[in-house]
Amino acid sequence: MADKLVIVESPAKANTIKKFLGGSTKVMASMGHIRDLPKSKLGVSIENDFEPEYINIRGKGDLIKELKKEAKKAKKIYIATDPDREGEAIAWHLAKILEDEKDKITRVTFNEITKNAVKQAIKEPREIDVNLVDAQQARRVLDRIVGYKMSPVLWKKVKRGLSAGRVQSVAVKMIVEREEEIKAFVPEEYWNVYANLKHVKSKKDFEAKLVGKNDEKLEIHSKDEIDNILKEIENAKYIVNEVKCGEKKRNPSPPFTTSTMQQEASRKINFTLRKTMSVAQNLYEGIKIPERGTVGLITYMRTDSTRISEVARAAAKEQIINRFGEEYYENRYFRAKKDAQDAHEAIRPTYADLTPESIKEYLSNDQYKLYKLIYERFMASQMASAVFDTMTVKIKANDYDFKANGQNLKFKGFMAMYKYSKKEDEETMLPPLQENEELKLNEIDPKQSFTEPPPRYTEASLVKALEEKGIGRPSTYSPTITTILARRYIEKEQKQLVPTELGTIVNKLLIENFTDVVNVEFTAQIESEFDEIAEGHEEWKKMIREFYGPFEKTIEKVEKELEHVKLEDEVSDVKCEKCGRMMVYKYGRFGKFLACPGYPECKNTKAIIETINEKCPKCGGTIQVRKSKKGRKFYICENNPDSCDYIAWNPPSKEKKKRT
């Protein structure tokens, strides 16, 4: 009989913890949530003050029996689910299921799965934090009400089976609005003029950019303006007017939060949000390292705090001084952002001495890449600033002002450990120029450019935008984007997020009918209220009541307006070969398709085949654009597989460029 029963979410976490706690402790995994709202109905009793109607999750019956059996035998029960709101809610649900043993139940949390952290947590148990549970319940109940009440609107006007979500709908709205900005964008012409100059004494060439005229900023918008400028400086002397030498410091960024880790993993190692969180979960829950056993390699990966413990700070100091020297270390503190939940630390390695290289052979390739990123970012955050020698030079050519900048890395500081881009430490130092010195003109180079539209969102930039606008929290970014991709409201082209036709239509309907719910500021305000509940400053049912009153009126109004609305399907020019009617456009999970209007007598449907102007490089046939099961576009010859086997991820024009 085990003296202690410890319950965690996952078997991996259970295995790691078991090794720390010894034989008299039984460690079991709940396999995530044990209870939830039912899938088949709303599951929230509106009449009974929004009481949630939780049920045991299907398939968990045997596990629940086993948990109850072991709980009865144990002298003490520790619920050690994750240290966030969702983990607290899982702990609360487990306590409800083990109600008969409630006098034995305590809650323990740890920010890292290390022997010391786990043993210390067991020594300092606490009660389940009902405020955190209520914040999670408020989110779950509110999202369930919004989804279940808004989705039928989409069924009536677009297609049965579609669904709307609170945060997801705002994310889709942002992506659609960005696409509209791009389509509406009108490029404007502008020109830059560069002078390639030679320093006569050192014989070094460098480039200066035209920035003004008579010390006033100059903007050039046409070829005529350029021709006039070139005429005015045709025989000009290029004289050094001013030389400023200085020193510039660059400071390291803080250690990772969830969102900055997701952004950097996307940018530097090309991970999707989902992959980043999955690999981080593995690193947190435990990896087998010879001589150490199974250890959690990083702290908890759902956090928006940049705080680090004094123990971690001391361990980083030792590593940095041993590896680089005293001058490379700097004790740094980072200010938390305004809305940060500072309950746990930033994401950092749990053991500073376990360098990525020293444990590379025990990690998968993906685990190594992410661990290296986390480890180096953390270490760099406790290192000295990088120092650059800088030179800024102003050059006169008649009345025109040219400017050149140069820099030289003088002291690497944190950049010895972590670089944000490959080019940031490139040396661009100018020759040893002096005031009133004349330079030789090698070439004048006018370049025409056009302003560009804002870029499409990527997963990383959308997370950044959601965080800046106060929408969602560390635990919600990845599932939000995964959901709207799965619903086919958006799709990925390379790394860019593009709204589908279905996503655009759904967004239009929601904006027209549920302005508040898909409003960015309103959604951010809801997040702030969840925070207030978590801190015990607001009662969760009161918040739901205040939301539900106006929301219910909106639902009633929309349903009344839609009662007599029949959407006419757009008629195509394609004749149904089965019954002769003109086929109409319909929308499904995978976008637009053709259907016979004679349904249910005639059930004929056709896919709409997208083509491109490029011809098949093998047989000259038409190239069709299709999508894989995962939604990725590929290019295939119309004659495949009958007489041609051409198929490629890129269109033929890009394939040709790749081969040259």
> What is the per-residue pLDDT across 83-134, written as a single tens digit (0 to 9) for each?
999 999 999 999 999 998 889 999 999 999 999 999 999 999 999 999 999 9
Q: Which two tokens stand for residue 456?
A: 């499409």
d(CA 16, CA 412): 38
**Weakest-pLDDT range from 122-131, 238-247, 336-345, 461-470:** 336-345
| Averaged pLDDT of the chain | 91
Q: What is the structure's pLDDT at 2?
A: 65
CA dihedral angle for residue 16, residue 17, residue 23, residue 27, rounded to 10 degrees: -110
**In contact, 221 and 202? CB cutoff 8 Å:** no
For residue 654, pLDDT over 60 is answered with no
How far is CA 473 from each of CA 84, 91, 300, 316, 329, rounded to the nearest angstrom?
11, 20, 14, 28, 33
Contacts of 290 (CB under 8 A, 6+ apart): 362
Q: What is the pTM of this model?
A: 0.84
Query: What is the CB neighbour count within 10 angstroms for residue 318?
Result: 12
For residue 606, pLDDT over 90 is answered with no
pLDDT tens digit sequence for 638-649: 888 888 999 998
For residue 16, pLDDT over 80 is answered with yes
pLDDT tens digit sequence for 366-384: 999 999 999 999 999 999 9
The mean pLDDT value for 435-463 works out to 96
Q: What is the structure's pLDDT at 659?
A: 41
Q: Which residues are 611's β-sheet partners?
A: 624
For residue 658, pLDDT over 50 is answered with no
pLDDT tens digit sequence for 126-175: 999 999 999 999 999 999 999 999 988 888 777 777 788 889 999 999 99
> 386: closest CA among 356, 413, 350?
413
The mean pLDDT value for 15-38 works out to 91
| % of the chain exceeding 90 in pLDDT | 74
The mean pLDDT value for 568-588 works out to 84
d(CA 160, CA 179): 26
**DSSP secondary structure code for residue 399 in this structure:** T
Q: What is the structure's pLDDT at 568?
A: 66
CA count, 13 A, side-chain hemisphere, 390? 12
d(CA 285, CA 255): 20
632 falls in which pLDDT band (50, 70, 90)?
confident
pLDDT tens digit sequence for 585-602: 887 666 678 999 888 889
The mean pLDDT value for 389-417 works out to 96
CA dihedral angle for residue 273, residue 275, residue 281, residue 283, rounded to 10 degrees: -120
d(CA 340, CA 534): 13
**In contact, 517 and 157? CB cutoff 8 Å:** no
**In contact, 371 and 347? CB cutoff 8 Å:** no
Burial, 641: exposed, middle or buried (Cβ in 10 Å; 0-12, 13-18, 19+)? Answer: exposed
d(CA 629, CA 221): 47
Residue of 659 and 466 predicted with greater confidence: 466
Q: Which two tokens stand for residue 654?
A: 């890009």
CA count, 13 A, side-chain hemisphere, 309? 17
**DSSP secondary structure code for residue 377 in this structure:** H
Tell me the range of 230-239, 422-431, 560-569, 626-635 where mean pLDDT is highest.
Answer: 230-239
Q: What are phi and psi of 634, to 5 degrees?
A: -140, 170
> 190: closest CA among 228, 225, 232, 233?
225
Residue of 189 and 419 predicted with greater confidence: 189
d(CA 545, CA 655): 58
| % of the chain exceeding 70 in pLDDT | 95
Helix, strand, or coil (residue 9): coil
Q: What is the structure's pLDDT at 558?
A: 87
Q: Which two tokens stand for residue 222?
A: 């046409």
Which H, E and C letters describe 186-219, residue by residue?
CCCEEEEEEEEEEECCCCEEEEEEEEEECCEECC
Q: What is the structure's pLDDT at 656?
A: 47
Q: Which two tokens stand for residue 438?
A: 């004349």
Residue of 494 and 28 predicted with greater confidence: 28
Q: Which two tokens stand for residue 235?
A: 């025989």
Helix, strand, or coil (residue 639): coil
**DSSP secondary structure code for residue 325 in this structure:** -
Q: Which amino acid is at 641?
A: P
Q: Which residues are catalytic?
A: 300
Round to the nearest angstrom and report the end-to-end CA distance of the chain. Answer: 71
Q: What is the structure's pLDDT at 343?
A: 61
For residue 471, pLDDT over 50 is answered with yes
The mean pLDDT value for 389-413 works out to 96
Q: List the strands of the sheet with 605-607, edge to edge.
A: 571-575, 582-588, 591-595, 605-607
Query: What is the CB neighbour count within 10 angstroms for residue 459?
Result: 25
How far is CA 463 from each of CA 263, 273, 538, 559, 581, rounded to the nearest angstrom?
7, 9, 27, 34, 47
For residue 563, pLDDT over 80 is answered with no
505 falls in which pLDDT band (50, 70, 90)?
confident
d(CA 303, CA 343): 8
Alpha helices in 469-564 (DSSP H): 477-486, 501-513, 520-534, 540-562
- CA 565 to the chain's CA centroid: 39
